[in-house]
Structure 1
Amino acid sequence: MTQDGRRFLFLAALAGALAVVFGAFGAHALKARLDENMLAVWQTAVQYHFWHALALALIGMLAQHLRDSRALRLAGWLMLAGMVAFSGSLYAMALSGVRALGMVTPLGGVAFIAGWIALAVSLRGTRVS
């Protein structure tokens, strides 16, 4: 297994576990503490967190076949940055009520988009064995 593949699979597993924990926390502990709007913000954070944890796992698996792909490596780090910036800012906003934290969220969205584009670039013209 390549070092990049192992690293991204490890990070994906941790991110996936955290997404489940945060989802359960929102459904149980926060349900009575947050208003409906902030619960929806929390759920959005969990959904994007989980889907991009799966994307990171895909990148880790692809790294086994696309060795030394700079675009694939970039895609992995961008997905991770997106999870931290997008979901992290929404989690913080829901918990604190500080709506100004929402200004960070689009940066995470841009990181997600760039990560998906980098993933596409890494696969362009490549045959995965």
Structure 2
Amino acid sequence: MADVEFRPDAGRYWLNHLAMAVVLGAAAGIALVVMGNPYPWTGPVAAALALGLRGLYLRSEAMADVWRLTDNALVGPGARRVALVDITLVRKLMGHVQVVTKQGDKILIRYLADAPSAVAAIEAARKRA
């Protein structure tokens, strides 16, 4: 098997930030209403601005996290290496893939455009290992 790379997708990255902005903005607006604030619209606006800035600030770091699937391991950023025989669970988690090891380590391969395909590729490699 040739090595397979899992690269973050910018569209998924921004979609996740949009979802966080909507949920947290609604929560902030509701909290302001409950507190009796006469300007509850400031909660959603502040959440959208904060998450937009967060997205801009962390984008280059998030887009640099590339994982590679080899014949016997999953190799990630920062010299992370997980032997395929040590993986007990692989599942889709929103636009991410969560990998759980026998040791209890939980690894998140973030912002994938096609997380189900990544899960299938890792599971197929595990069966061959």
Mark the structure with the bigger radius of gyration: 2
* Structure with more helix by fraction: 1
**TM-score when normalising by structure 2:** 0.28
**TM-score when normalising by structure 1:** 0.28
* Structure with more strand by fraction: 2
